[in-house]
Structure 1
Amino acid sequence: MGVNMYWDLGVSCTTTCDKTAVRWESPYAGTIDDGFWNAGEYGPNAAQTANSTVKWTGTGKERIDLSWKVRAEVAVSDIGPVSADFGSSGKADNRELAPRCDNIVGGSSPGCVLPYFNPQYTVDTNLYPAAGAYYWWMQQAMVHNNGAGDEPLHYLGPDTTVVNPNTGKPWTSDNSRNKVCGNWTKPPLDASVGPWTAMSSRWPPPTRAADSPAVSTRSPAATNARSSSPTR
C-alpha cells in the first residue's frame, strides 16, 4: 500500500519547444526517485521533487504557456486505487506562467522573460542621494511616470510599434539614447588632472538606456519548472 504522485506538465509550444520527461528526485538522499511513497514514509526526509526543462527552439518571438497539474493515487488493496486531484498552478487571468521568448535582438542569444513579473530595485537614498533624486525626477518627468507604481519600464525592441514623431519611422535605440543624453559633448580637460590615459579615454562611458539590451534582463531560452510534493 502506498501513494503514487503524478506531475502532468502542460506546454503550449509543441512545435517550437523541447521538453524533457518529468524526473523525480530525493533531495535528502541525492538520488533519482519514482514519485511513490510507501505507507509510513513521511516528513522532510521522504520529500521528493519533480523536475522538467522546457527549451524554446523557435525564431522571431512567441509567448508560450507553462502549466502543470498534480495528481495522486492511493493504492488500497481492499477497495482498489483511490485518486485525488490537487489542481493546477497558473492563473488564466494573468498568465504568470507564460514566458515570452525571442531572438530578435541583434548580437544577442535567444532569451525568455516572464513579462508579468515586474522586478523592483530600491535605491538607498541615504547612501546614494543623487541617484535617488535623478531616478525620482525621471519618473515624474515622463508622461506615463514609467518605472513608478504600476507603470514599469518597457523594452523597445527592433519590432516595436512606437513611432518617432519627428521622423515618422520606428523608434530606435539611438532615439532613446538621445532622449537621455541629448547633445552631450565631452567636457574640457582640466590640466590639473593630467592627460587622458587608455583607461580614461572611454568617454563618455557606454550608455545604458532603458531600451538597451545591456539592461534587459534576459535568461537563456530555457525555463526550469519544479514541483515539490507535500510532506505528511
Structure 2
Amino acid sequence: MAFVPGDYGIPKDHAVDLALPPVDDGSPNPNQADQPVTDQVTKPLVVDEDSASVAVPQTVKESCGPVRNGGQVCFGRPLKKPYKIPKAAEDSKGAQELTAADDSGGAAGIADWCDDDELVARTLVCENREVPVYYRKDGEVKATVYFIFQRLIELDGVNSFEEYLTVKPVSIPADFAQIQLGIYEHLCDSPCTPVESDPSAWKGQPTWTAGDMHTAYIASAYTWDNSTEGQTFEFKPDVQINGIADPVGDETIQTVGYQWSLGGSSGFDVIRCDTLTGTASAGCVVPNYAPTYTFNAAKYPQAAAHAWLIQHEMPNSPGLESADTPLYYLPGGRDGDNRDEICDESGWARTNYDPDAMNSTSDDPNCDEFSFNATYNSGGMPADLGGLNPVSSGSECAQTFAQMDNGTIHLRNLPGTVPSFNEVCGRSAISGVQNQGSMAAFSAGCSYHVDEPEPSRT
C-alpha cells in the first residue's frame, strides 16, 4: 500500500518511528497542473513592509446615468447570496429566490464550476455578480431588472489572456420595452493592451425584452509586452459596460455605465505576468491563489514521510493545506545558502544514513530538508531577510533518517537525538533517488516563475 499522510500517529513521548510501504516504481506521478478550485484568498508574503501597499476599503456605490426628463437608470450595488429581490421590489407574495437561465455562457467547457460562485484556480478567475438595474422617475424607483454578470479570466497564453463576459437575465419585467447592454471599453495598465472585440462577436444578442431569459456572452483579449527578460508586471484588467434602457411610458431612452472594478473587489482581480524563466515567454498567474504540490507517496515514501512528519507533528505545520499554512516561494533559496544552513555539517547525510535503505547500490544519500530551501519557510532563511522559521543550525531541526529493519524501511529519529516536537524544521538522511524524484515535477508541472514570496501548499 502507498504511504498515506495521516495513517501514522506519533506519541509525543516516544521517538519517531514511521513504517513505510515498499516503493511502487510504477505509481504514476500526480498531475501537478491539475490544481484545485477555491474561493480562498491567500496573499503573497510581504517581506519589505516599507514597500507594501496599504489596502483602502472600497465603498461600492450605484452607477447612475444622467437624469433626462426626470428619468434615470442606475446599476445598483451587487446583491449578496442568497440572492433575493429587495424589499422595495417585492410583490404581494414576499421575497423571491432568484434563479438565472441554465446556461454557462462563455465559461462552458473552460471552467464548468464557474457558475458556482466567486472561484479561482491557478490560471482561471471567475466571479458572478447579481446586479439590479433601477429605473427611477423623479427620484422614485418605478421598475427593477436583475442580471447576473459573470466574468471569467483565462490566463492561457504566453503574452495574452482572455476574458469571457456572460450576461444572464434573472428578471425582465414588463416595465421595460427593451434593455441593451454592450462593452464600452476595457482597461489595463501598460504594457497590457486590451483588444476590443467587434460587437458582432456576441454569442446571443445582448438585447432583452420583457420576459426574455436568453444568455449572451462575448470573448475579449488582452495582450502584454513580454519582449524583455527578467520583468514582472501586475495588471488589473477592467471592463466598462454600457446600458441602454427603454422604460415603458417614458419617451426618453436612458443610458447608464457600469465599471467592473467599482462594483467591489474579489481579492482575485490582480494578475501577475513575468518573463523570469530565462526566456521571454513566461506567462501569468493569479498571485492570491496558493497552488498545491502533491507528493507521489507510493513512489517516494521516504520523502513523503519526512514532509508528513514535519507538517503534522510540528506546531508550525509548514505547507499543510488543511492548516492554511502555505509555503512562500524563494527562487534558489539564496543560491543554496538556506540548504547549507540546514545541512550544514560536512557530509551530514553520508555520515548518518543507512546503506540498506537506499534504492540501489548506486543510490547516494541526500540531506532532505523541510521546509524546502527555496522557501521563506526554510529554517535556513534568516529573520532579517523575511525568514519565517529561522534556526542557526540544522541540529535545531528534527533529525531523522531512513533505516531498513527486518525488510521494512522506517523513518526514525537519528540515534542520540529525540525531537521535542516543537521544532520548526526537519532534516533527514534519505535516499537521493527518493529525495530528488519526489520534487522533480516542481518546476515541470507548475508555473512557479515569480520572484517574490508566492504562496503554495504541499
Q: Residue in 1 aligned with 2:189?
A: 13
Alignment of 1:177-196 (within 5 A): 183=349, 187-188=360-361
Distance 1:138 1:113, change over 3 A: farther
Q: Which amino acid aligns with 2:447?
A: T
| TM-score where L is the length of structure 1 | 0.55
**Which structure would you say has the larger Rg?**
2
Q: Residue in 2 aligned with 1:63?
A: 234
Q: Residue in 2 aligned with 1:213?
A: 443
Q: Residue in 2 aligned with 1:105?
A: 277
Deviations 1:88-140 (A, max 9, x none): 25754x64111111111225831111011224478899x89x58754422424
Q: Residue in 2 aligned with 1:53?
A: 221
C-alpha deviation, 1:20, in angstroms:
1.3
Distance 1:156 1:105, change over 3 A: farther
Q: Which runs of 5+ in 2 are unaligned?
A: 1-176, 351-357, 363-431, 450-458
| Secondary structure of 1:6's aligned partner | strand
For the aligned residues, what is the CA RMSD?
A: 4.7
**How far, CA to CA, are the matches of 1:208 and 1:173 in structure 2?**
21
| TM-score where L is the length of structure 2 | 0.31
Q: Residue in 1 aligned with 2:317?
A: 145
Q: Residue in 2 aligned with 1:96?
A: 268
Distance 1:174 1:83, change over 3 A: same
**How far, CA to CA, are the matches of 1:91 and 1:54 in structure 2?**
21
| Secondary structure of 1:3's aligned partner | strand
More relative contact order in 1 or in 2 (CA 8 Å, sep 6+)? 1
Q: Residue in 1 aligned with 2:98?
A: none
Q: Which amino acid aligns with 1:36?
A: P
**How far, CA to CA, are the matches of 1:108 and 1:137 in structure 2?**
40
Distance 1:55 1:157, change over 3 A: farther
Identity of aligned residues (%): 18
C-alpha deviation, 1:49, in angstroms:
0.6
| Secondary structure of 1:80's aligned partner | coil
Report the count of equivalent residues.
184
Assess if the C-alpha contact under 8 Å between 2:202 and 2:217 holds in 1.
no
Are 2:176 and 1:4 aligned? no
Assess if the C-alpha contact under 8 Å between 2:202 and 2:218 holds in 1.
no
Distance 1:139 1:75, change over 3 A: same
Assess if the C-alpha contact under 8 Å between 1:7 and 1:70 holds in 2.
yes
| Secondary structure of 2:328's aligned partner | coil
Q: Which amino acid aligns with 1:214?
A: A
C-alpha deviation, 1:4, in angstroms:
1.6
